[in-house]
């Protein structure tokens, strides 16, 4: 009887560890999906800003990169304002 209780207890612990790992994987996947979505909207803005900072740190003029960042931010804002439907899923503006 004691052996049976120990076996059940060990099986329960193993299942709980597996459940915890599964939940962790699901949460990680959701965070990754959210990050990909954010990069899709603001990726060009961030790249332009980093390029501008790199140029400024090297002593060069970065006005063009800063302007590109502003343009990319404006495009992201315009996309946010558009109505999203299934017909616009692939970038179609029908």
Q: How many CA atoms lie within 13 A of 12 on its CB side?
A: 6
Q: Domain for residue 21, yes or no?
A: yes
The pLDDT tens digits of the residues spanning 43-66 come to: 778 888 888 888 888 888 888 888
Q: Domain for residue 93, yes or no?
A: no
Please tell me the total count of domains within the chain: 1
pLDDT at 94: 46
- CA dist 62 and 84 (Å) reads 35
pLDDT at 26: 94
Q: Domain for residue 52, yes or no?
A: yes
Domain that holds residue 21: 2-78
Report the mean per-residue pLDDT for the chain. 78
Q: Domain for residue 83, yes or no?
A: no
Q: Provide DSSP, 31-60.
A: HHHHHHHHHHHHHHHHHHHHHHHHHHHTT-
Rounded to an integer, the average pLDDT of 17-36 is 88
In this prediction the pTM is 0.43
């Amino acid at each position: 009887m004691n052996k049976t209780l120990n076996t059940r207890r060990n099986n329960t612990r193993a299942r709980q560890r597996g459940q915890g790992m599964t939940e962790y994987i699901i949460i990680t996947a959701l965070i990754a999906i959210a990050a990909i979505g954010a990069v899709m909207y603001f990726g060009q803005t961030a790249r332009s800003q980093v390029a501008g900072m790199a140029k400024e740190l090297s002593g060069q003029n970065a006005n063009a990169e800063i302007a590109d960042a502003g343009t990319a931010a404006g495009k992201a804002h315009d996309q946010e304002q558009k109505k999203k439907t299934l017909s616009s899923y692939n970038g179609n503006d029908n």
